[in-house]
Structure 1
Amino acid sequence: MGDLEIRPATADDIPEIVAMLADDPLGAQRESPDDLSPYLAAFERLAGDPNQHQVVAVRGGRVIGTLQLTIVPGLSRRGATRSIVEGVRIHGDERGTGLGTRLIEWAIDESRQQGCHLVQLTSDKSRMDAHRFYERLGFSASHTGFKLQL
């Protein structure tokens, strides 16, 4: 992994982040890399919230991975704080290099530092490779998720 840096994302990183979000069959259907305005507005909301951590993995000045980590205080589990990992993406030519593992390890470490007792994530049912990846890292498929489009 050499000179890999995992750092907070900046507005300047948004084009690369959006390109990675759009670079798969699911993302191609729901992302719009040609219009960055909604992403920039969303990034401003994220940047203003101390419980949101949008990070990028950078090597040689190039953004090659990203994820969002959300810290969620709660009452359940005896008042436990949990984290949610979302939007994990690795640049196409970096897949299989161990970068995804490094990003998830970062998220787990940051969750511990934030006092979380649980790290959770969801993955689309069609992403079987991702499911195996998360299970290899110790995650278990413990729940069924539901979504409601608004």
Structure 2
Amino acid sequence: MRIRRAVAADVPAIVAMLADDPLGAKRERPGDPAYAEAFEDIDADPRQLLVVATTGADVVGTLQLTFIPGLSRLGATRALIEAVRVRSDQRGGGLGGQLIQWAIDTARERGAAMIQLTTDASRKDAHRFYERLGFAPTHVGMKLPLR
């Protein structure tokens, strides 16, 4: 397995993974041209790392790592993990843990003081997965949809 920065050609495989669960099936539209524009924005931003995990030529996992500079905690940078997905036929083999460890290592290398993530309240298996990796549910996340 190899983890690398995503390229535009990876977008359909990434979107397919985002859509391949009960929550994603309701909010994603594979094939929509909006994803290409979003990829361009992400790829152009030096504080964004959209990566894919590959085995051979196959994209089998993905995550986005965002670096957020801040004033709190003595001007600390936080790293935010988003959109972690492993292709359904690859789950249970440790790939998710390798992706998260890559994100932790990369955040540390780039000087982040903390790494954080959110996970939908309904994803109980994901909660257990992240807790096994050392994450703690220390805060309550809140969201307000704007569209």
TM-score tier, shorter chain, comes to over 0.9
- Alignment length (residue pairs): 146
Unaligned ranges ≥5, structure 2? none
8 Å CA contact retained: 2:12, 2:31: no
Matched, 1:6 2:3: yes
1:143 partner amino acid: H
Aligned match for 2:35, one of 39, 42, 46: 39
Matched, 1:100 2:87: no
8 Å CA contact retained: 2:118, 2:141: yes
After TM superposition, give the deviation of residue 60 of structure 1 in Å: 1.5
Unaligned ranges ≥5, structure 1? none
CA distance in 1, matches of 2:6, 2:73: 31
Runs of 4+ displaced beyond 3 Å: none
Aligned match for 1:115, one of 111, 115, 119: 111
CA distance in 2, matches of 1:39, 1:108: 26
Q: Which string of whole-angstrom CA distances, capped at 9 and with x for unpartnered residues, describes residues 86-126 of structure 1?
A: 00000000000000000000000000011001000000000
1:34 partner amino acid: G
Aligned match for 1:78, one of 74, 80, 103: 74
Aligned to 2:133: 137
After TM superposition, give the deviation of residue 34 of structure 1 in Å: 3.0
1:69 partner amino acid: L
TM-score (norm 1): 0.96
CA distance in 2, matches of 1:92, 1:69: 21
Q: Which string of whole-angstrom CA distances, capped at 9 and with x for unpartnered residues, describes residues 15-61 of structure 1?
A: 000000000000000000032x1111000000110000000000021
The two structures, once aligned, show a CA RMSD in angstroms of 0.5
